[in-house]
């Protein structure tokens, strides 16, 4: 079946601009996660959704970052007033249930802030 998809695959923006990154989880998966991966590092947790609600957003670096999942399926990660330090690969994962289920990752969105 179809895996996790993310759009766009690449995004180039200018410092100070607003960006939205989209994640389509595997059909039927109730849990969704966002991670961020900087060059040469492993992915780092940002936020976890169970259904429509953000169960844990402790990994979001500051209040410029926000994510939504209004219908419990597609999620959008929103970054306001982008900074060069936001440049990274943003990864989305989904799992069938919540805690303990295996997470399956999408290909990521490569964000470059100039």
Partner 1 sequence: DAKTTQPTSMDCAEGRAANLPCNHSTISGNEYVYWYRQIHSQGPQYIIHGLKNNETNEMASLIITEDRKSSTLILPHATLRDTAVYYCIVRVDSGGSNYKLTFGKGTLLTVNP
55 sits near partner 1 (criterion: CB under 8 A): yes
53 sits near partner 1 (criterion: CB under 8 A): no
What mask, x for binding partner 1 by CB under 8 A, covers residues 59 to 98? x-------------------------------x-x-x--x
Beta strands in 25-82 (DSSP E): 31-37, 44-50, 53-56, 65-68, 75-79
107 sits near partner 1 (criterion: CB under 8 A): yes
Quote the tokens at residue 68: 């939504």
Q: Which of 24, 47, 50 is nearest to 36 (CA)?
A: 47
In the complex, the residues that contact partner 1 under the rule CB under 8 A are 4, 31, 33, 35, 40-45, 48, 55-56, 59, 91, 93, 95, 98-100, 102-108
């Amino acid at each position: 079946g179809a895996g996790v998809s993310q759009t766009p695959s690449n995004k180039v923006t200018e410092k100070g601009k607003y960006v939205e990154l989209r994640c389509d989880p595997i059909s039927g998966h109730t849990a969704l996660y966002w991670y961020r991966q900087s060059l040469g590092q492993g992915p780092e947790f940002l936020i976890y959704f169970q259904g429509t609600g953000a169960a844990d957003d402790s990994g979001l670096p500051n209040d410029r970052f926000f994510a939504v999942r209004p219908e419990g399926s597609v999620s959008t990660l929103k970054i306001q007033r982008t900074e060069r330090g936001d440049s990274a690969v943003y990864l989305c994962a989904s799992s069938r249930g919540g805690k303990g289920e295996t997470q399956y990752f999408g290909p990521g969105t490569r964000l470059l802030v100039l």
